[in-house]
Structures are given as C-alpha cells and as structure tokens.
Homo-oligomer: A and B are copies of this chain.
Amino acid sequence: MEDYARQIEDIGRRARAAARQLALCSKERKDSALMAMADAMEAAEAKILAANARDVAAAPGFGLNAAAVDRLRLTSDRIRAVADGVREVAGLPDPAGGVIREWTRPNGIKILKVRVPIGVVGIIFESRPNVTADAAALCLKSGNACILRGGKESFHSNTAIAAALATGAVNAGLSADVIQLVPFTDREGVRLMARMDRYIDVIVPRGGRALIEAVVEHARMPVIKHYHGVCHVFVDSSADLSMAEKIVINAKCQRPGVCNAMETLLVHRDIAEKFLPTIAASLSARGVELRGDERTREVLGSGVKAAVEEDWTEEYLDLILSIRVVDSLEEAVDHIEKYGSHHTDAIVASDEAAARKFLSAVDSATVLWNASTRFSDGGEFGFGAEIGISTDKLHARGPMGLEELTTYKYIVEGAGQVRG
C-alpha cells in the first residue's frame, strides 16, 4: 500500500514539473503537440485495438450489457475519429494568455488580470476510452498537465491510448508526463489522488454518485463535480402551448440518456386541462412512461402511474417523465429548489415578466426561456469543445469549455512604486 501511495505521489510530482514546462509553451508548440498526439494514436492503432480486445473480452465479467460493450469497443474508424477530435482541439483558440482586464491606478501601477493555465488537472472518469484522448487534448490545449484515472472496464484501452498520446507529446518535444494515466482503477487510487493537493490543483470527477461522493469525501483540492441533471420544464399559464409541446418532446425524447434531458414536467394549473391530454398523447406515442401527481391523474385519468416522492429527485435518463400540476410560478420555482439539481431548468411562457421572474429565481447553472433544456451544452453554446457540464457553482458552472480549464493571475507593472 505504501508503494502504491509512492507511485501516485511520483505521478503527481512529475505532473507538476510537466505543468511548469507546459505553462510556458506557445500556442504553436501546444498545437503541434496535439497534432503529434493524434498521429501517434493512429500509429498505435494495432496496439490500441489489441488492448481494447482484452477489455471487450473481460466486459461480461464486469457485468456490462451489450450497449455498454458497444460503447467500449474501438474500431479503426473510431480511433481515427478520436484522433480527428484531438486535431480539432488544435484548431481552437488558445484559452490561456489573454488579458481579462487591465487598468492603471492613480499611483501609476498598471494591473493586468491575465488568463493562465490551472496547472495540474485530475480527471476521474468511468466511461468510454475516448475520454482519455478528449480530456488529455483539452488539458494540453489549455496548458495543463493532466492525471487521468479511468474505469476498470476500459483499463487496457486507456493505457494504450495514454501511452500513444504521451509518445506523441515526446515526439513534439514535450515531456511524456504532460499526460499520465494512474495505473490503478480501485477506490484507493481515487482516495490517494484526492489527498494530493500538493500536486493536483483541481479534480474533475465524471461518473456516478458513488464515484463523485468518494472524491468529495476525500478531496483536499477544489472539485468540479459533473453530477446528475434533474432538469425541469415549467409550462406557464401564458405559454404558447404548441411551442411548449415541441420543447417538452425535445427535452424528453431527443436524447433521454443525457444529463440535460428533462426529467420532470411542471404545468401551471390554468392550462393543465388543455395541455396535459395533448402532451400526454404525444409523449405516450413516443414510448414515454408518465408518472403524475394527484392533479395530473385527475386530468389524465388513473391509467397514468402515480408519482411517488422519489420520482421528483430521480434522474431517469430514460423514457420516463414525472409530471406535476402547480398553482403558480412560485410553486414551480419552489419545487425546482426543493427537488432539482441546479443543473438546467426551463420555462415556456409568453409573459416576459413571468419568464424574468423564473430566470432570476431559479438557482441553476443554465436557465432557459422558450428553448429546450438540451441546449445546455458546450457545443450548443459555441465553446468548441467541452469537458462536461459542471453542477458546481464555483469556478466553472454549467457547460465547461477550454476557458474553464484556466484561471488567472495579476501582473503588476510599476516604475519603482512603494506603499506610503
């Protein structure tokens, strides 16, 4: 165990040294490193496919179902697509180095608030092996060294991809340590990483509740959680009901398995009798299971399943929708505050005053007026690339792009000024 801790500590120390080098690299050097990393991934195709075959063979032992195995499986085409993704990141603007604000004080000192890399970013994930390349590319682009810790199901694939990326970095004259994968996939590895605030500046956990909880419990450094989305659409009494129908269907059905899909529909009582039968028919036709509160079932009939307390906090990630009739916009806001996850919530309304009230009062990363919750997304926001959607409030809130992988420092330029 001590040896284990020493190994992770060593990864940390090397990442810190690599980060210092990387922070001083020009955009050109970082971009050429990204191109070299993409090339190296393609050059290592045979090795990556062989490693992936081991993961796929072991998958049933981890209890992965057919869909999960499919997400795990790599092919030549998928490797090329991932490499192309890395090349696309090279084409994006450099988030580091820009001046956020500059001003001069009466005593003549000039102050510049300048965007700089964070340093060492720890990313803990459970999902598909392409995250290894995506996350490493975004960290490198923003001038950060990264320490990745992937899931056990994709361990061999992740290892092969990380090795290829490090080779690419070295080919471009950077340290191999700019991208390192922790060679452990158990919880103890997570705990050790989380304690290492000396070397890791921030940890971004992406995964299920148990994983995120393990990070939060032990972390000594800032954590930017990518947690669940219990997203709401509130259809106000002033809503254009055909617009509401379009938005509700899109928010629920277009891609139910993602965090910005709607999980609960709140309907103003004044339009409930008119709106509910239409939307229920439309949702049912798309295979959505409805779970309604008392008043919803009064309108739709007891054929609709009764929602229980747990339904209001559940992220179904599936074709299931809980529905509640509320007396007022205030009640909708209170429901969202009580049961929501502060991720993404929308109002459909024609009354601007009502909409403004909702947009102010709902304390979520993204609040929308007359648009689908599915727009709460880095790509849709035009960020070019996305680490994920932060459910935390500080540093990065909501869709997290390259800029959120930077911080700032103050540069003060004087001519010998001292304080009086």
Q: Does chain B have a CB within 8 A of A381?
A: yes
Q: Is the CB of B20 within 8 A of A363?
A: yes
CB-CB under 8 A from A119, the residues of chain B are 363, 393
- Which of A119, A359, A392, A410 gathers the greatest number of chain B CB atoms within 10 Å? A410
Complex Cα distance A220/B217, Å? 6
What residue of chain B has the Cβ atom nearest to residue A346's Cβ?
A: B412
What residue of chain B has the Cβ atom nearest to residue A415's Cβ?
A: B370
Q: Is the CB of B398 within 8 A of A409?
A: yes
Complex Cα distance A251/B418, Å? 8
Tell me the chain A residues, 368-383 only, with Cβ under 8 Å from chain B: 368-372, 374-376, 380-382
The interface size bin for chain A is 35 or more
Determine, out of A239-247, A275-283, A289-297, the stretch whose residues face the partner at the interface.
Answer: A239-247
Determine, out of A103-111, A124-132, A179-187, the stretch whose residues face the partner at the interface.
Answer: A103-111
Q: Does chain B have a CB within 8 A of A413?
A: yes
Q: Is the CB of A413 within 8 A of B220?
A: no
Specify which of B223, B337, B370, B411 is in contact with A367 (CB 8 Å cutoff).
Answer: B411
Q: Is the CB of B371 within 8 A of A417?
A: yes
CB-CB under 8 A from A416, the residues of chain B are 240, 243, 246-247, 370-371
Complex Cα distance A398/B254, Å? 44
Task: List residues of chain A with CB under 8 Å of any chain B CB.
Answer: 20, 23-24, 103, 105, 109, 111, 116, 118-119, 197, 201-202, 216-217, 220, 222-223, 240, 243, 246-247, 249-251, 254-255, 337, 359-361, 363-372, 374-376, 380-382, 392-395, 397-399, 407-419
Top 9 A-B pairs, shortest CB-CB distance: A371-B414, A250-B418, A243-B416, A368-B412, A374-B419, A394-B395, A372-B418, A366-B410, A370-B414
